[in-house]
Structure 1
Amino acid sequence: MGAFNQTLVTEFIILGFPSLQKLYPALFLIFLVIYLFTITGNVVIFLIVFLNYKLQIPMFFFLNHLSAMEIWYTSVIVPKMLANFVAKSRSISFNNCMIQLYLFSSLGASECYLLTAMAYDRFLAICNPLHYSTRMTNSTAHQMASGSWFGGFISPILPVVLISKLVYCGPNQVNYFYCDSQPLLRLSCSDTRLTEMAITTLATGLIFSSFLLTVISYIFIISTILRIPSVTGRKKAFSTCASHLTVVLIYYGTITCMYMQPMSRFSLDINKVLSLLYTVVTPMLNPIIYSLRNREIRESLGKIIIGLKAKGYAT
């Protein structure tokens, strides 16, 4: 990310939620429980898929990568936010702020790519079932998952470099709960129009293209499902993609409002609420959605619980 010697600011103060400071102890407990549930839920999903040989198919292979992304995604933001709820000093160094911005942006972009890959997998499974095994091989799934990670970590390099090279001469108080592009741009003493244009263009291109491909996949999927003559067949086909579709709607709904708008369109207070949805709430919901909506996951989890009860580990 280059040298940050163009700035007079060496650290930022993360303000978090200034109007809710009296509630910080309660907020700490609430978000700690959510974070622990998120980590535990995604680890459980990951282990269920990893340990059950019957689930070693592309659909669940992608789900494992999604769980891993959610674990890292929320861990980039929440631990620092929790520390700021109880710490007297809420500072973060300039370099660490840029690192947090980069990691968070990279994991968010990776998830966009992975959700698109998962949509393509469901498209092949439902619309081209006879060719599914030849087109979606384990090698293909590995390549698509690796491409999602690689593409995600490449995408935000330019925006983060541009933000890091802006001049910050004070104040250094970030009116947010983590280092994000919008609050940082508002603190810069430089002309940020070019940077804002680059970020908006790149974010819009990434979000729109991945969402468009996902929507096209589901248009074909739904069209194919509606042509299935039996009600049972339609329900069975839809159940294989219902979890993914739910996650897609929640995820893209929030990030579209955040990053496909000009930087100054929304107030930071509204952005904080939207950010909480996809940085804290969505990673927590994913294990719930997949465990409730997916029969294979439910059955595997049930077998594990029964096994633990038999061994005396659960009541």
Structure 2
Amino acid sequence: MENSLMGDARNRTAVQEFTLEGFPTVQPFGKVLFLIHLLAYLASIIGNTLIITITWADHRLQTPMYFFLSSFSFFECCFVTTVIPKLLAIFLSGRKSISFAACFTQAFVFLFLGATIFFLMAVLSLDRYLAICKPLYYPTIMNPRMCFLLVTACLALGFLFMVVPVILLSQSSFCGPHVIPHFFCDFGPLTSLSCSDTRSIEMLAFGLDLFILLTSLIVTIIAYSNIVVTIVHLPTAKERQKAFFTCSSHLIVLSLMYSSCVFIYVKPKETNWLDSNREAALVNTVVTPLLNPVVYTLRNKQVHQVLRDALSRVRV
């Protein structure tokens, strides 16, 4: 009996580091993929930084909507920086190892920022609802203090919702395979490597993910249902068009985020669950953050004017 227990303890040696599998089928094209993803990463950082800069530099964009958009852009920069640099290292040098602590830190920051961004998107929906449906009350409700409190609340909720499942998973046993079939330390692949019973942790994480997505989705649906009714009753076609274009960018970004995240986190496990998640996660961490600043700047006349004015001042 004693020998059996000692043997079991030896078999349950703690894993000190993990190996990120990345995309093994395309690893021969690592240098090319490194360049593509580096350009996408830089474009995403530059685009989102541009939104932050012009929002804070030009008084015409110092409104609640642009405050939320600049906060959104800042979180997006942090979000992609959590994942992409390691992916670039995998493509360039094949360096796939990551320490236990770094892996769980990456998983937590990724989930924390992801949850924060979803809460912030719900706040953006509320902001558009108040601006279009309650224009007389909008300046009073969405004052600078309220805007700051809402962003702080998004951060606090994102932290509180994600810290518990990540800590619980980090305290479970990892004694078997250490290869993560993903390009970063995501929650799902980590649970598949644990040799403890993680069903309760998975159910908790699933419930929290579902709550975050549904809360944001319900708030958005209610807000935009009221917005559509208000737009339909606007007296002129020009006013209706202006109101529609104000909201369309937000809806495009929302659709990109929801489609990829629902596919990754709120679906039953299938045979290729982890493999299919890699492609969806790549869209969520590379493509969507790259498209967000493009969508918000190309479809916004006010941003166009601010950029034109800034360029004319630079030329002078």
- Relative to the length of structure 1, the TM-score reads 0.94
Aligned to 2:16: 10
**1:202 and 2:208 equivalent?**
yes
Which shows bigger deviation, 18-27 or 263-272? 263-272
Aligned to 2:40: 34
Aligned to 1:91: 97
1:265/1:114 Cα in 2 relative to 1: closer, same or farther (>3 Å)?
farther
**1:173 and 2:179 equivalent?**
yes
Aligned to 1:313: none
Which residue identity is paired with 1:197? M
Contact 1:200-1:263 at 8 Å conserved across structures: no
Distance in 1 of aligned mates of 2:174 and 2:207:
23
Which residue identity is paired with 1:46? I
Alignment partner of 1:60 out of 66, 71, 77: 66
Q: Which has the larger radius of gyration?
A: 2
Contact 1:196-1:263 at 8 Å conserved across structures: no
Alignment partner of 1:164 out of 152, 161, 170: 170
What are the superposed Cα offsets for residues 77-124 of structure 1, whole Å, 9 maximum, x if unpaired? 000110111224310000000000000000000001100111000000
Aligned to 1:105: 111
Contact 1:9-1:168 at 8 Å conserved across structures: yes
Deviation at 1:308, TM superposition (A): 2.2
Distance in 1 of aligned mates of 2:162 and 2:110:
9
**1:252 and 2:258 equivalent?**
yes
Aligned to 1:49: 55
Deviation at 1:243, TM superposition (A): 1.2
Contact 1:42-1:68 at 8 Å conserved across structures: yes
Aligned to 2:276: 270
Alignment partner of 1:309 out of 282, 307, 315: 315
Runs in 1 of length 4+ with deviation above 3 angstroms? 262-266
SS at match of 2:172: coil
Contact 1:200-1:262 at 8 Å conserved across structures: no
1:139/1:266 Cα in 2 relative to 1: closer, same or farther (>3 Å)?
farther
- Relative to the length of structure 2, the TM-score reads 0.93
What are the superposed Cα offsets for residues 227-278 of structure 1, whole Å, 9 maximum, x if unpaired? 1121101001112211111111111111111111235575222111110111
Root-mean-square deviation (Å) = 1.3
Structure 2 residues not aligned, in runs of 5+: 1-11
| Identity fraction in percent | 39
Aligned to 2:243: 237
Aligned residue pairs, count: 305
Structure 1 residues not aligned, in runs of 5+: 1-5, 311-315
SS at match of 1:176: coil
Contact 2:89-2:95 at 8 Å conserved across structures: no
Which residue identity is paired with 1:67? S
Distance in 1 of aligned mates of 2:151 and 2:237:
33
Distance in 2 of aligned mates of 1:294 and 1:121:
17
Alignment partner of 1:76 out of 62, 68, 82: 82
Distance in 1 of aligned mates of 2:212 and 2:206:
10
Aligned to 1:283: 289
Which residue identity is paired with 2:21? L
Distance in 2 of aligned mates of 1:76 and 1:172:
21
